[in-house]
Amino acid sequence: MTDAVSARNACAADAVVTLEGATKSFGANQVLKGISLEVCEGDVLAIIGPSGGGKSTLLRCLTMLETLDGGSLSYGDVRVCADDGGGRAIYGGKDVIREAKTRFGLVFQDFNLFPHYTVLKNVTDPLVSVHKVAKAEAEERGRELLRKMGLSGKEDMVPCELSGGQQQRVAIARALAMNPQVLYFDEPTSALDPELTREVLRVIRELAEERMTMVIVTHEMAFARDVADKLIFMDGGQVVERGRAADVINAPKHERTRAFLSGYAS
Amino acid sequence: MQERSLFFADRERWVAVEFGVMLGLLGEGLMLTAQIFVVTLIGSLPLGVVVALCRMSRFAPLAWLAKFYISILRGTPLMLQLMAIMFGPYYLFGLQMGPDWKFIACDIGFILNYAAYFGEIYRSGIQSIPRGQYEAAEVLGYTRAQTFMKIVLPQVIKRILPAMGNEIITLVKDTSLAFVLGIAEMFSQAKALAAREVSMIPYAVAALIYWVFCLLIEFILNRVEKRMDYYHD
Ligand SMILES: Nc1ncnc2c1ncn2[C@@H]1O[C@H](COP(=O)(O)OP(=O)(O)OP(=O)(O)O)[C@@H](O)[C@H]1O
Ligand SMILES: [Mg+2]
């Protein structure tokens, strides 16, 4: 059911992300039970599934906030970790990890903006501090991104002066500023009310139209169906079903997927 | 008092001179008080960082040691600690310390004691920063040092400022404990003057000076707090 072969999309070019046979346990609780996925350039992949199914853990492993127990993970030609053959993941050295970290961005459910920095500095400081971009250049890029997020005029405010939807759009700008090859979202609208959800989803939809590569964990089924190309349904630490987003949501094949989706109005 | 009036026929003039002498002596005491205060802060503010880091260390014996240190220093009177340091070298090792030892012992005692309190305040501040801040910084590629200096520390400072203010103001008044070591700080001077003049006025004046000292510190702390008021989390 989770064989690596069916996980292969066979990207036209090199895959942006390749994960194979990922396993992860917290103590006795195995949360990921051999997950494989491949994200091609320009793909929008939605990940759905019931609470506790391991979606966040999967994203945290992909972004190296957690380490995998077993399996292999690559960003293009950067091999973050490889299976030692005995089911143990062996991670690459510091340089490899540092390089891999430049390949992705992550947008959190609760934004995690830096509250003591202005909106603009939230976006530019990582560029200046981490990527040694000149301040003026970083600010130009920051303003441009904020404009794109519909946040012109908010540059000098601090996050606590913004609505949740605006804060989340700052977080998206912050992630985009690093020019990541893939952008991960972990339930980006779960902390927002419907109206604010809409403005954040609109921004993500625009990014999708620009062929930004994205992996989105979401409970917004209509959004997943309309915006994502591909979709994974996860439950109990396994991929239960995967396919084209519209196909899976409109006509789920697996019983568990059907049961899960019937809980949503869409 | 009576014999004094022999020297000063004019009683009012006598009162003025006596008041001047009192202020002079209290002023000398204040210098020592301020010195204890400043030296304690210079020593204990950074030492508190070390205490907090040890206390949060993943190396269990170190954390345990720090916990023990904090427990002892917070759990026994500062006055006793000062005396222990003052007389410890003699009673434990038979060492005769020089005449200046009391000043050194006093500074050591205050620094060690306040480092325990500051360490705990730092720790509570650091641990109150949400995990998400570290994770956001990590994903963005900040190094651990950058994360601490740029992201965590500024937020910690804002959060601990009220508690630090409390502790610093307590220190102003705690300096009076140096009198047990025979250090002529302001409280000792007031006590001596009060005994000599059979008057409560030196105490009252000393109290006023302590209060003004604290007002000054409150003023500074308020300004710092205001400067960090531009955001809340
Ligand atoms: N740091 C951790 N330590 C121990 N257990 C954890 C940890 N993180 C997650 N888990 C466990 O892993 C399982 C999967 O959690 P995860 O957060 O990945 O699920 P999820 O699919 O994201 O759920 P949700 O939709 O509620 O966000 C849960 O049983 C959770 O209790
Ligand atoms: Mg989750």
Query: pLDDT (tens digit, 9 = 90+) per residue, B16-40?
Result: 777 888 889 898 999 999 999 999 9
Q: What is the pTM of this model?
A: 0.87
CB-CB under 8 Å, A112 with B130: yes
Quick check: B135 contacting A, CB < 8 Å?
Answer: yes
Q: What is the distance of C-alpha A251 from the center of its chain?
A: 25
Q: Which residues of chain B have pLDDT under 50?
A: 1, 5-6
A158 in contact with chain B, both atoms CB, cutoff 8 A: yes
CA-to-CA distance for A114 and A111, rounded, in angstroms? 9
Q: Using a CB-CB distance cutoff of 8 angstroms, which residues of chain A are in contact with residue B133?
A: 112, 114
pLDDT for A265: 60
pLDDT, residue B4, reads: 52
Instruction: Please give the pLDDT value at position B6.
Output: 47
Within chain A, what is the greatest distance between any pair of CA atoms?
A: 55
Mutate to test the pocket of ligand 1, among A25, A55, A59, A106 (most ligand atoms within 8 A of CB): A55
**In chain A, which residue's Cα lies nearest the Cα of B229?**
A116
Kindly state whether B98 is in contact with chain A, defined as any CB-CB distance less than 8 angstroms.
no
Picking from A51, A52, A15, the residue whose alpha carbon sits closest to that of residue A36 is A15
- Among B132, B150, B231, beta carbon nearest to A110: B132
Give the CB-side neighbour count of residue A151, counting CA atoms within 13 A.
Answer: 33
Min Cα–Cα distance to chain A from B208, Å: 38
Take atom 25 of ligand 1 and give the residue whose Cα is closest: A51
Which residues 122-151 of A are in CB contact (within 8 Å) with B?
125-126, 129-131
> Do the Cβ atoms of A176 and A168 come closer than 8 Å?
no
Dihedral sign computed on CA atoms, order A58, A59, A61, A65: negative
A98: nearest CA partner in chain B: B141
Which pLDDT score, from 0 to 100, does residue B11 have? 66
Residues of B with CB below 8 A from A156's CB? Answer: none
Residues in B closer than 8 angstroms to A75, CB to CB, are none
Residue B199 is predicted with a pLDDT of 85
Query: Any chain A CB within 8 A of the CB of B158?
Result: yes
Residues B132-173: pLDDT tens digits? 999 999 999 999 999 999 999 999 999 999 999 999 999 999
Residue of B129, B139, B149 to mutate, interface with A, max A Cβ within 10 Å: B139
Pairwise CA distance, residues A180 & B139, whole Å:
11
The tens-digit pLDDT sequence of chain A (266 residues) is 344 444 555 677 789 999 999 999 999 999 999 999 999 999 999 999 999 999 999 999 999 999 999 999 999 999 999 988 887 899 999 999 999 999 999 999 999 999 999 999 999 999 999 999 999 999 999 999 999 999 999 999 999 999 999 999 999 999 999 999 999 999 999 989 988 999 999 999 999 999 999 999 999 999 999 999 999 999 999 999 999 999 999 999 999 999 999 888 64
The predicted structure's pLDDT at residue A4: 41
Beta-strand relationship, A78-83 and A70-75:
antiparallel
Task: Kindly provide the residue ranges of all beta strands, DSSP E only, lying in B1-141, ordered along the sequence.
Answer: none
SS (H, E, C) chain A: CCCHHHHCCCCCCCCCEEEEEEEEEECCEEEEEEEEEEECCCCEEEEECCCCCCHHHHHHHHCCCCCCCEEEEEECCEEEEEECCCCCEEECCHHHHHHHHCCEEEECCCCCCCCCCCHHHHHHHHHHHHHCCCHHHHHHHHHHHHHHCCCCCCCCCCHHHCCHHHHHHHHHHHHHHCCCCEEEEECCCCCCCHHHHHHHHHHHHHHHHCCCCEEEECCCHHHHHHHCCEEEEEECCEEEEEEEHHHHHHCCCCHHHHHHHHCCCC
Q: How far does residue A40's CA lie from ligand 2's centre (Å)?
A: 23
Q: Which residues are CB-contacts of B190 (< 8 A; sequence separation ≥ 6)?
A: B26, B29, B202, B203, B205, B206
User: For residue A187, which atom of ligand 1 is closest to its CA?
Assistant: 27
Residues of B in contact with A131 (CB under 8 A): 141
Is the Cβ–Cβ distance between A244 and A39 less than 8 Å? no
* CB spacing of B142 vs A129 below 8 angstroms: yes
